[in-house]
Amino acid sequence: MIFSDLFFLFAFLPAFFLCYTVAAVADRRSRKSYAVTDDGSSQLQTGNMFKNMVLVVFSLIFYAWGEPVYVFLMIFSSFVNYRAGLFISSRQEHRKAALATGIGVNLLILGIFKYLGFFASILAGFGLPLQVPQIALPIGISFYTFQSISYLVDVYRRESPVQRRYADLLLYISMFPQLVAGPIVRYGTVAHEIQHRRVEMNDIAEGMFRFLIGLGKKVVMANQLSEISDQFLVGGLSELSTTGAWIGIVAFTFQIYFDFSGYSDMAIGLGRMIGFHFNENFRHPYCCDTITDFWRRWHISLGSFFRDYVYIPMGGNRQHQAMNILVVWFLTGMWHGASWNFILWGVYFGIIVMVEKYTVLRIKDRLPRFLLHLYSLVLVVIGWGIFYFDDFGKMQVFFNSFFGGGKVFDDFLTHSALMDNFWLWVAAVLFSMPIRTAVTGWLAGRLRQWDEPLAETLITAGRIAFSVALLVVCAALLVGATNNAFIYTRFYRKRKERR
């Protein structure tokens, strides 16, 4: 199940909020409960037992919708991390062993389901008599595995409290708003809110608006841009013109941004509506002035995970910096998928980031911002070309056309894709920049200077009208949509189809 689906929007989500509202009433009327604190004492508290129960049940249903069997894998993984966390917290003499065991089990599960077939095919290619296992990839396993690892490490470092209730740790790992495609939520971010969250009307309004903004990014922008990118990049690459290669990969560049950031917006919005505050995951990455800056803005939760749990423990900037950077970016590429193009993509950006530390970053203040921005965008677009093609033969044909080696430089198909979708291109450029935030902030400020009570009424009415219109447009576009899968699940399907 995905967020940009009519069943999710008009069946699953209403059913969830109905049950969640009833559970909230039950929690308010229930007796106060005792909780055991870290020092072993009992503390009287009001909990969210019924709300949490509803959230866990609906999260498991959400995850089981496609392949029910993998719900048991996630439940098992959660239990292992629950027991490992308790052991780390309570046993001083074997804390490292418990941490290593917990992380090892997480990585073993991830390795078996995501990478075993990949490495077996490599060894088979060297002539070893191995049968490549046919193991389906559970959706979202990379996200909840990394969340589990971050939980264990933070408990070990005493940066987060241990969770003593298995049901609450299962809630953290399985929470459907961010389960399938992130952001990667640290346990410390939501630890207090699991039992102590409160939801005000402002949270519901802000969360709903954020969710619909994300839905619009996905349905109105990403889905339409995917039709353009597929038109040029799927099949017929031998006839691809140079301008066609650029149009196709630029369309994909916008598509993947609106797809990923739209999903993060929807996750953050849904979390806000039920009292959780997830961190931002995208900050207008195409406004970057270096590749280093791009990766501070793109998939922030993933970058911070590798920084805090891999790069800094390896020595960070203190020792073997170049090697640390390359290892992190190799793992970043591997995390995105078990395919050589993802590894190449990660190493490509790792090399650029490493080179920038000794060149561009030292002189960027003396360089024109426009040139830095252009330099960054060209490298990002080339990177998405590597990311897109998991077949190196097709990748070579594409880049041959991309760099001017195609049969023709220009063709009618390119002009048609530009002119027939003119306003879509304009919207893609504008909405990938912080223009919406700047304009709405300026307008709200001017209205408040004029008449603050009336301004608040107009702002609220405007948001409601915009939200309703956006929902209607998205619903209309989703009726009969054939190109609606979230891009993460599309790469998952490609892997299954190759089998």
What span, in angstroms and rounded, lies between the C-alpha atoms of 110 and 298?
Answer: 23
Cα angle at 18 between 16 and 19, to 5 degrees? 65
Look at residues 264, 260, 261, 236 and name the one whose alpha carbon lies nearest to residue 248. 236
Name every residue whose Cβ is closer than 8 Å to that of residue 366 and which is 6 or more positions away in sequence: none
- Residue of 284, 336, 373, 415 with catalytic role: 336
Taking the chain, what is the end-to-end CA distance rounded to the nearest angstrom? 23
Name every residue whose Cβ is closer than 8 Å to that of residue 369 and which is 6 or more positions away in sequence: 289
What span, in angstroms and rounded, lies between the C-alpha atoms of 144 and 67?
Answer: 16
Say whether 299 is catalytic. no
379: burial class by Cβ within 10 Å (0-12, 13-18, 19+)?
middle
350: burial class by Cβ within 10 Å (0-12, 13-18, 19+)?
buried
Tally DSSP H helices, then E strands, for the chain. Answer: 26, 2
Look at residues 287, 291, 283 and name the one whose alpha carbon lies nearest to residue 265. 283
Q: Count Cβ atoms below 10 Å from residue 485 Cβ, excluding itself.
A: 18
Is residue 195 within 8 Å of residue 47, measured between CB atoms?
A: yes
Helix, strand, coil tally for the chain in percent (to 5) = 75, 0, 25
Is residue 174 within 8 Å of residue 59, measured between CB atoms?
A: yes
Cα angle at 23 between 17 and 25, to 5 degrees? 110
Is residue 104 within 8 Å of residue 200, measured between CB atoms?
A: no
Is residue 398 within 8 Å of residue 233, measured between CB atoms?
A: yes
Show which residues are catalytic: 336
